[in-house]
């Protein structure tokens, strides 16, 4: 069965360190997204990609970067982790087919990141 | 940017009572989606509404899109403990992305 996975599921790191969160999907979806979830803010978009070699900034992109070298993976990198980046991170994918968007986003299980 | 408002932020109900959450936008929406996130889990897609005044049902859940396409509601009839979680609405922005509301957290007391 197709799925979307994230690793690690939990990560504790120190301020200033570089951290990379992995996201892998086997849906063969073109669109992939990274969100962070904090109490009272819902899901906020960090970066997104509509296909290989395509990346775009979302609402809260400062301090984060992504790369898309293949369809399946969209790793999220925190260049220099800050305590404000302590959060739960969700990766999602979706497909747009033909002229009618299906739009459904399939979310991964999430990564809980703590920056000390 | 686009903002999505949801009310209430929290709702505690006794099992068997009904529950409704509302999603409001300042702009006319092309469509709207609803997601459910169980405690400790990830958001799961429930439904998408596209047409003005559209009403869709999934068992005890009724979803409605306003006539002006600026608001939506999710109504659960006779809540059960399995309904516990946070319900998010999401509206489409100008691209292929969705902007999520802050969610309504539902607690169901047995």
Segment A42-54, tens digit of pLDDT: 899 999 999 999 9
- Which residues in chain B show pLDDT less than 50? none
Confirm or reject contact between A59 and chain B (CB < 8 A). yes
B42 → closest Cβ in A48, A59, A107: A107
Residue A38 region, left (φ>0) first, then alpha (ψ -120 to 50), else beta? beta
Please give, rounded to a whole number of angstroms, the shortest distance from the CA of A29 to a CA of chain B.
13
Please give, rounded to a whole number of angstroms, the shortest distance from the CA of A34 to a CA of chain B.
11
Confirm or reject contact between B105 and chain A (CB < 8 A). no
> What percent of chain B shows pLDDT beyond 70?
95
Q: Please, which residues have CB within 8 angstroms of residue A60's CB and are 6 or more apart in sequence?
A: A36, A44, A45, A46
Please give, rounded to a whole number of angstroms, the shortest distance from the CA of B80 to a CA of chain A.
24
Q: Please, which residues have CB within 8 angstroms of residue B67's CB and are 6 or more apart in sequence?
A: B52, B53
**Taking all residues of chain A, what is their mean pLDDT, rounded to a whole number?**
92
Q: Please, which residues have CB within 8 angstroms of residue B58's CB and are 6 or more apart in sequence?
A: B46, B47
The residue among A80 and B92 whose pLDDT is bigger is: A80
Mutate to test the interface with A, among B25, B29, B45 (most CBs of A within 10 A): B45
> What pLDDT does residue A97 have?
52
Whether A42 sits inside 8 A of B102 (CB atoms) is: yes
pLDDT at A107 over 80: yes
pLDDT at A80 over 60: yes
> What pLDDT does residue B1 have?
60
Q: What confidence tier does A91 reach under pLDDT thresholds 50, 70, 90? A: very high
Q: Tell me what the mean pLDDT of segment A9-25 comes to.
A: 97
> What pLDDT does residue A98 have?
43
Confirm or reject contact between A88 and chain B (CB < 8 A). no
pLDDT at A101 over 60: no
**Which residues of A are less than 8 Å from B98 in CB distance?**
103, 105
Residue B82 dihedral angles phi and psi, to the nearest 5°: -70, -10
> What pLDDT does residue A102 have?
58
Q: Which two tokens stand for residue A19?
A: 């951290």
Q: Tell me what the mean pLDDT of segment A88-96 comes to.
A: 91
Q: Which of B63, B55, B66 is nearest to B28 (CA)?
A: B66
> What pLDDT does residue B93 have?
72
């Amino acid at each position: 069965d197709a799925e979307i996975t994230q690793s690690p599921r939990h990560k504790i790191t120190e301020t200033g360190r570089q951290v990379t969160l992995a996201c892998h999907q086997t849906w063969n979806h073109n669109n992939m997204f990274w969100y962070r979830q904090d109490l009272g803010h819902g899901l906020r978009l960090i970066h997104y990609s509509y296909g290989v070699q395509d990346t775009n900034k979302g609402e809260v992109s400062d301090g984060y970067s992504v790369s898309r070298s293949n369809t399946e993976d969209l790793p999220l990198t925190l260049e220099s982790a800050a305590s404000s980046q302590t959060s739960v991170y969700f990766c999602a994918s979706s497909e747009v087919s033909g002229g009618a968007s299906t739009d459904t986003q399939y979310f991964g299980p999430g990564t809980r990141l703590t920056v000390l | 940017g686009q903002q999505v408002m949801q009310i209430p932020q929290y709702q505690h109900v006794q099992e068997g009572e009904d529950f409704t959450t509302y999603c409001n936008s300042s702009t006319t929406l092309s469509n709207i989606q609803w997601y459910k996130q169980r405690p400790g889990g990830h958001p799961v897609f429930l439904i998408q509404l596209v047409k003005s005044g559209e009403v869709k049902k999934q068992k005890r859940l009724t979803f409605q899109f306003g006539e002006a396409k600026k608001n939506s509601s999710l109504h659960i009839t006779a809540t059960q403990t399995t309904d516990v979680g946070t319900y998010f609405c999401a509206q489409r922005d100008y691209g292929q992305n969705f902007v999520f509301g802050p969610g309504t957290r539902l607690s169901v007391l047995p």
